[in-house]
């Protein structure tokens, strides 16, 4: 049971860090996109933040899989 709690804790920590990064990215990315791509001005902040969060989640999961890969290779 302790290992499950650790896994939940790690996932919560990764999600927390991902949320902070997504918020920072959206604070700088959304104004930049509105200035440089006026056709995207109708896209809401939530959509862009959601896409950024999804990309960050995929990156974090890929890193986690790489780090915790198969340890018994031979």
Mean pLDDT per 10-residue interval, the chain, length 74 residues: 77 81 77 75 70 79 79 60
Cα 21 to Cα 52: distance, rounded to the nearest angstrom: 9
Structure confidence at residue 29 (pLDDT): 76
pTM: 0.50
- Distance between CA atoms of residues 51 and 74, nearest Å: 39
């Amino acid at each position: 049971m302790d290992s499950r709690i650790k896994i939940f804790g790690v996932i919560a920590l990764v999600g927390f860090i991902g949320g902070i990064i997504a918020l920072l990215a959206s604070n700088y990315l959304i104004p930049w996109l509105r200035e440089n791509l006026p056709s995207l001005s109708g896209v809401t902040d939530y959509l862009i933040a959601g896409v950024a969060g999804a990309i960050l989640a995929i990156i974090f999961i890929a890193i986690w899989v790489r780090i915790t890969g198969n340890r018994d290779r031979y």
